[in-house]
């Protein structure tokens, strides 16, 4: 069976592993950066369409040691890249190098590109062009201490790009990270959910899609593997029909989003509408200090601002104090999960967490904290 690798934000590998197992895929290894699994190509299609947590589904093709440019070129030539695309299509090479003798990422990318296009030129007499924005074949090269790992990218654009979020606030949460955090809460997908600072609505849209059993990739227009020579249209169409038939149309509970920014609420409503979940989410412009429980019992989740710019921290202290007050005095008996990228500001909640996970939101190391109010 072919080997694939599902990459994910750091801190999300464990729920990603469970998600892949629930899809019926055979997990063979896990690392902080993702999960390796064995599967048919149909399983690769399914992971791309249905994984809420993966960033990309990669197909590893080469592992080798190289110290000199000539070694790198020769090793790349050992895999036949002409079996993926026609010479009239396009490609790009994405490189990350750490602690390697071949330290210049641009040079490594050029050398790998030369080795690949020379295969096409020798076989067909012409070579693919390079397209860094929307290539038909994306090749990933990762080098660490002269050890090179080469993969082809079956996803194309990153899987967090679901297709529904055209409107976003400043520093929005990536969709797959939001879904991964929801998985970490162990939310039962049957209970009301509240977001006090919903921004563009990512938590709530992802939660609604989970509860309605909507495949996260159903709104995407294309995946990388659809441009490849081995793409099986019949298998893909059958899989798409299967996930559409499994969708629910209604819920017997609602989700609630609040934000002090009226423009953010409008963006959230538009995103929910594009995702097809606007009928199960109520949005309202309201500051966290005055939010009342919309139902008797449920779970809350929030990603408050971290104050990453100079001067922001002092302005945000009152916001965190208001959030803490609302939780203690209005949402008694609720569980609330908060993504904290600022350990000083989180102290202003004046609450003690009962559980914590360490995750990365982009390059920011965060704590995902559970608070239970009594």
Give 220-235 pLDDT, tens digit per residue: 989 999 999 999 999 9
Q: Is the pLDDT of residue 169 over 90?
A: no
pLDDT interval class at 60 (50, 70, 90): very high
Work out the average pLDDT over 141-156: 95
Please list the residues that pair with 138 across neighbouring strands.
92
CA–CA separation, 353 vs 351, rounded Å?
7
Phi, psi of 284, deg, nearest 5: -150, 140
The arithmetic mean of pLDDT across residues 59-67, rounded, is: 96
Compute the distance between CA of residue 360 and CA of residue 364 in angstroms, rounded to an integer.
5
Q: Supply the pLDDT for residue 310.
A: 46
- Please give the full DSSP string across 8-56, using - where no structure is assigned: --TT-HHHHHHHHHHTT-EEEEEETTEEEEE--HHHHHHHHHH-SS-SE
All residues at 6 or more sequence positions from 129 whose CB lies less than 8 Å from its CB, including other chains:
90, 91
Query: What confidence tens digit (pLDDT) does each residue in 1-35 have?
Result: 899 999 999 999 999 999 999 999 999 999 999 99
DSSP bridge partners of 149: 63, 142
Taking CB atoms within 8 Å and a gap of at least 24, the contacts of 19-28 are: 19/51, 19/52, 19/53, 19/183, 20/47, 20/51, 23/47, 23/50, 23/51, 26/1, 28/3
Closest CA to 320 of 289, 298, 290: 289
| Residue listed under structure tokens 């009152």 | 318
**For 191-217, what is each residue's pLDDT tens digit?**
999 999 999 999 999 999 999 999 999
Distance, CA of 22 to CA of 296 (rounded, Å): 32
Threshold 0.85, pTM exceeds: yes
∠ CA 222-223-228, rounded to 5°: 110
Instruction: Name beta bridge partners: 57.
Output: 6
Quote the DSSP letter at residue 309. S
Instruction: Reply yes or no on whether the pLDDT at 311 is more than 80.
Output: no
pLDDT confidence band for 308 (50 / 70 / 90): low
pLDDT digits (tens, 9 = 90+) for 83-132: 999 999 999 999 999 988 888 899 999 999 999 999 999 999 999 999 99
pLDDT of residue 99: 86
- Written as one string, the DSSP assignment of 208-226 is HHHHTT--TTTT-S--GGG
- Judging by beta carbons within 10 Å of its beta carbon (0-12, 13-18, 19+), is residue 161 exposed, middle or buried? middle
Report whether pLDDT(324) > 80. yes
Q: Residue 318 is inside which H or E element, if any?
A: helix 312-329
| Separation of alpha carbons 337 and 167, rounded Å | 24
**What pLDDT band is residue 309 in, cutting at 50, 70 and 90?**
low
pLDDT in the model for residue 343: 87
Which domains are present in the chain? 3-153 (3.30.2130.30), 175-214+249-372 (3.40.50.150)
Identify the pLDDT of residue 171: 66
The position carrying tokens 């360490």 is: 358
Please report the pLDDT score of residue 362 as a whole number. Answer: 86
Confidence of residue 307 (pLDDT cuts 50, 70, 90): confident
Within 13 Å, how many C-alpha atoms sit on residue 168's CB side? 13
- Give the residue-averaged pLDDT of 298-312: 81
Quote the radius of gyration of the chain (alpha carbons, Å).
23
pLDDT in tens, 85-95: 999 999 999 99
Which tens digits make up the pLDDT trace of 247-261? Answer: 999 999 999 999 999
């Amino acid at each position: 069976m072919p080997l694939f690798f599902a990459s994910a934000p750091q801190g999300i590998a464990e729920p990603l592993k469970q998600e892949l197992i629930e899809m019926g895929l055979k997990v063979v290894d896990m690392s902080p950066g993702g999960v390796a699994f064995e599967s048919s190509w149909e399983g690769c299609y399914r992971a791309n369409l249905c994984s809420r947590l993966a960033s990309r589904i990669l197909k590893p093709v080469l592992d080798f040691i190289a110290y000199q440019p000539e070694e790198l070129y020769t090793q790349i030539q050992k895999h036949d890249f002409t079996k993926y695309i026609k010479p009239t299509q396009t490609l790009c090479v994405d490189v990350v190098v750490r602690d390697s003798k071949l330290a210049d990422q641009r040079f490594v990318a050029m050398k790998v590109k030369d080795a690949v296009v020379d295969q096409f030129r020798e076989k067909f007499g012409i070579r693919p062009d390079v397209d860094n924005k929307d290539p038909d074949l994306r090749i990933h090269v990762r080098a660490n201490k002269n050890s090179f790992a080469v993969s082809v990218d079956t996803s194309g654009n990153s899987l967090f790009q679901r297709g529904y979020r055209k409107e976003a606030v400043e520093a929005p949460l990536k969709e797959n990270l939001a879904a991964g955090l929801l998985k970490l809460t162990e939310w039962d997908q049957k209970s009301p959910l509240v977001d006090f600072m919903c921004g563009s609505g990512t938590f709530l849209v992802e939660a609604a899609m989970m509860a309605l059993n909507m495949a996260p990739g159903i709104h995407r227009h294309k995946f990388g593997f659809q441009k490849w020579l081995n793409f099986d249209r019949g298998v893909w169409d059958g899989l798409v029909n299967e996930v559409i038939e499994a969708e629910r149309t209604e819920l017997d509970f609602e989700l609630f989003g609040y934000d002090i920014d009226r423009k953010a609420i409008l963006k959230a409503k538009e995103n929910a509408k594009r995702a097809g979940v606007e009928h199960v989410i109520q949005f309202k412009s309201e500051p966290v200090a005055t939010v009342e429980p919309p139902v008797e019992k449920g779970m809350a989740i929030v990603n408050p601002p971290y104050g990453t710019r100079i001067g922001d921290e002092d302005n945000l202290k009152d916001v965190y104090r208001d959030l803490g007050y609302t939780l203690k005095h209005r949402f008694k008996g609720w569980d609330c999960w908060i993504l904290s990228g600022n350990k000083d500001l989180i102290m202003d909640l004046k609450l003690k967490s009962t559980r914590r996970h360490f995750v990365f939101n982009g390059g920011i190391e965060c704590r995902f904290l559970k608070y239970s109010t009594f």
